[in-house]
Structure 1
Amino acid sequence: MKKIRLAVIGTGMAWKRLHWPAIQELGDHYQIVAVCNKTKSDAVDFAREINLAQENVYDDYKEMLKRGDIDAVDVMVPIPENFDIYHDIVTANINLIAEKPLASTMEGAEKLLKLHKKHPVNIMVAENYRYNDEINKIRDIINQGKIGDVIYFINHNAVDFENQMTKNTFAATEWRQHPQFKGGTFLDAGLHDIAAMRHIFGKVDYVYAMGQPQQEDFSPYISVNSQIKFSNGVIGQYSYYTDGKETQRPLIGFRIFGNKGEIYLEERRCGTINITYRDGGSEQITYRPERGYFNELLNFYNSLLGNEEIAVTPEVEYGDVKMVFNILKSIKDNKAYPVDTKTNEISLV
């Protein structure tokens, strides 16, 4: 089996906890040929773990990109660094596994889309929620018509970010606690929920949102409450609570109401999708949590071999990012904003 020669930029927590375990599972698909980290000692330590020679370790990714034996680069760095690194990789005509978001601004995301047209390398945005088994199973259930026509949904995500800041978690990183980009944790983490909903329901006509301001650096709002109208007519409410947790079970979770039944996912790690029907029947569909990392890296591998299309392209991710920023604009301006429609005028009547 052909192995993809992979270089890595950023050997920190995201690499070690998310992508590296999936790469190990796909050991006959990928070969790591170079690693880079701004703190070189961290990259050195990882290289030793995998018996990678020290001449393949860098603290300057631009030097690493000059190598002639790289098929693709996997990047896991703080959000503000995404644009510059992605720009340099694409300009070097090297295939890219890009973490979300493409950039910390809409302007940056637009520039990368234009750059990609000039340099048509393979770019997969590692939006693991679009690759998670539970999200794809829910989409299949709806497409099969098992709950009839979808009428509306409720999606609620409560995150005790302030508590997580004191633990060995992603929230403990300085750049997330004091983000140098608009939206803070809503752009970083809420983007996952946005991607999942768009993956299930499709394109979005418009969003209207409200938020409760707070003084904490990690997010401008303690809660974001948004109404979403999808192009297929589905409407619903998405709430992101940035500094708290639900204290009662079952959780509100993700509930999708159809005219023949209801889908309920309590939380993404629970392992079970519950379906109830109006005729009194019910069923439970099990899944393996956290498979998005494996699935996305397998999709990328197959795309490089020409066996399948990339599921999450920059164009797909661009719509997710646009929706996040339009929710933030809606809160600020108290107006509804379009997402996938081209009109600038929105009527809520």
Structure 2
Amino acid sequence: MQEDAIRLGVIGTGLAVQRLHWPALERLTDAFRLTAFANHSRPKAENFAGYAGMSMDDYAADYHDLLERSDVDAVLISLPIPMNYPVTKAALEAGKHVICEKPAGVNDAEARKFIELVDQYPDLTVLITENSFYQDAARLARSLIDGGALGRIHLASWRTVSQLVPKEGQFSSTPWRHDPGYEGGPHLDAGVHHTAIIRLLCGDVDQVSGVSQDANTTHGGPSDLSLNLRFVSGAVGNYTASYPELAVPKEPNDFRLYGTDGVMSFRFRELSVYRPDEPPTTYRTGQFDGGHFNAFLNFAEAIRLGEPVIGTVAQTYRNMQIVLDGLEAVANGEVRTIDPYPSELSATALPLWSPKRTDPLFDNPDYVTIEHE
């Protein structure tokens, strides 16, 4: 562990930290040193202390006590969605850098307040952990698209269907997901990951319409949402997500992009490219952590080296807009134009992230395997 490691406090030590964030932090001991943690539930805090090797002397039941500590440079906020904005506000007021779980607010109004809040603290780094921006197969897909593998994308289609019922030890069992204090239910919670990848690969959406349906009594919000999308680039698309109560057959759940020169099928850890007069090519990336390691690395490089943050509040707000405006369009039976707040919509949406320490995308040149059928 380096002496100049960023001293990190963890606010919220639940399932997301254990399953998603801690495995990434374990691999970044040269960048981060855990110094404090807070949770209103002492048993959850004790569980975290056990696997993270922390002392309960560094535990606080109230996150405000953690924010007062001088040995905390930055905080990881991993709390229910309604807590993201107020706890980030308190952390910034305390002079701490922030890496916070998505999404950036419970609704459109709070997300805009979040953007305005962050603008008041230009010397502090704020990153929303929209890990899909950093997911390795998604970054590889974007690099292939940027290199012309598909030509001009004219159609994008994604259908994802999976049972969503409370299961012990799973994210679906989290009480605040059953009666969410935020708009959209599972579509805001999970759907923003999908819209992040849609924007990374296809650019911004400028128009949305759709329909919804409900077939799940165990979670708040509509279970089914189908949106028609128009992109700034001129491409069109459809995004359908369903979270039914009943079990469903295994689904491909892949994102398909149709271009003038080729077609791509994206499946989170692998992607396939189909081009005329060439054998289909499948690319597979190595260890899959959903992009969390890369998000923390971007956070560290932003604090230490002044590197730009990709998962900004404004960028993650754009992911929310597609879902929230889609739900609004459904409710009003209209085609809705996306408001270009806080800046103009773009055919490229956001830059492709790569770590400063490597070029172009991955440390290990053998990290990606390529198969020709």
TM score, norm. by length of structure 1: 0.91
1:180 match: 181
Deviation at 1:291, TM superposition (A): 4.3
> Is 1:278 matched with 2:273?
no
Matches of 1:197 and 1:252, distance apart in 2: 14
Task: Check whether the contact 2:216–2:243 (CA below 8 A) recurs between aligned residues.
Answer: no
1:19 match: 21
Supply the AA of the counterpart residue of 1:210. V
Task: Check whether the contact 2:196–2:319 (CA below 8 A) recurs between aligned residues.
Answer: yes
Higher alpha-carbon deviation: 87-96 or 17-26: 87-96
Deviation at 1:177, TM superposition (A): 1.8
1:63 match: 65
Matches of 2:169 and 2:137, distance apart in 1: 26
1:325 match: 324
2:195 match: 194
5+ long unaligned stretches in structure 2? 342-373
Supply the AA of the counterpart residue of 2:135. N
- Tell me the SS of whatever aligns to 1:119: coil
Runs of 4+, deviation exceeding 3 Å: 48-51
Matches of 1:291 and 1:54, distance apart in 2: 30
Deviation at 1:340, TM superposition (A): 4.8
Matches of 1:49 and 1:217, distance apart in 2: 31
Task: Report the CA distance shift for 1:14/1:248 in structure 2 as closer, same or farther (over 3 A).
Answer: closer
Deviation at 1:74, TM superposition (A): 0.2
After TM superposition, the structure 1 = structure 2 runs for residues 48-59 of structure 1, keeping only pairs within 5 Å, are 48-59=50-61
Task: Check whether the contact 2:161–2:253 (CA below 8 A) recurs between aligned residues.
Answer: no
Task: Report the CA distance shift for 1:44/1:276 in structure 2 as closer, same or farther (over 3 A).
Answer: same
- Tell me the SS of whatever aligns to 1:161: coil
Task: Check whether the contact 2:88–2:100 (CA below 8 A) recurs between aligned residues.
Answer: yes
Q: CA RMSD in A?
A: 1.8
Deviation at 1:160, TM superposition (A): 0.6
5+ long unaligned stretches in structure 1? 343-349
Q: Deviations over 1:148-172 (max 9, x none)?
A: 111101111112102xx12421001
Deviation at 1:40, TM superposition (A): 2.1
- Tell me the SS of whatever aligns to 1:183: coil
Supply the AA of the counterpart residue of 2:38. C
Matches of 1:169 and 1:248, distance apart in 2: 19
1:221 match: 222
1:126 match: 129
Supply the AA of the counterpart residue of 2:140. K
- Tell me the SS of whatever aligns to 1:8: strand
Matches of 1:252 and 1:26, distance apart in 2: 31
2:309 match: 310
Matches of 1:134 and 1:275, distance apart in 2: 13
Supply the AA of the counterpart residue of 1:333. N
Deviation at 1:112, TM superposition (A): 1.6
- Tell me the SS of whatever aligns to 2:190: helix
- Tell me the SS of whatever aligns to 2:223: strand
Q: Deviations over 1:303-338 (max 9, x none)?
A: 111252111111111111122110110110111222
Percent identity reads: 27
Determine which of 86, 100, 103 is the counterpart of 1:101. Answer: 103
Matches of 1:22 and 1:64, distance apart in 2: 22
1:299 match: 298
2:238 match: 237
Deviation at 1:35, TM superposition (A): 0.3
1:115 match: 117
2:140 match: 137
Q: Count how many residue pairs are aligned between Structure 1 and Structure 2.
A: 336
Task: Check whether the contact 1:11–1:42 (CA below 8 A) recurs between aligned residues.
Answer: yes
Task: Check whether the contact 1:214–1:220 (CA below 8 A) recurs between aligned residues.
Answer: no
Matches of 1:23 and 1:252, distance apart in 2: 29
Deviation at 1:257, TM superposition (A): 0.7
Task: Report the CA distance shift for 1:44/1:319 in structure 2 as closer, same or farther (over 3 A).
Answer: same
1:347 match: none
1:9 match: 11
TM score, norm. by length of structure 2: 0.86
Task: Check whether the contact 1:204–1:341 (CA below 8 A) recurs between aligned residues.
Answer: no
Matches of 2:219 and 2:290, distance apart in 1: 28
Supply the AA of the counterpart residue of 2:322. M
Matches of 1:306 and 1:175, distance apart in 2: 37
Matches of 2:111 and 2:37, distance apart in 1: 25
Task: Check whether the contact 1:203–1:340 (CA below 8 A) recurs between aligned residues.
Answer: no
Supply the AA of the counterpart residue of 2:143. D
Matches of 1:229 and 1:105, distance apart in 2: 22
Task: Report the CA distance shift for 1:24/1:193 in structure 2 as closer, same or farther (over 3 A).
Answer: same
Q: Deviations over 1:205-246 (max 9, x none)?
A: 111111113462524323111011111112111000111665
Supply the AA of the counterpart residue of 1:296. A
Task: Check whether the contact 1:90–1:119 (CA below 8 A) recurs between aligned residues.
Answer: yes
Matches of 2:137 and 2:189, distance apart in 1: 21
Supply the AA of the counterpart residue of 1:133. D
2:159 match: 156
2:208 match: 207
1:345 match: none
Matches of 2:248 and 2:51, distance apart in 1: 40
Supply the AA of the counterpart residue of 1:128. N
Supply the AA of the counterpart residue of 1:299. N
1:290 match: 289
Deviation at 1:107, TM superposition (A): 1.5
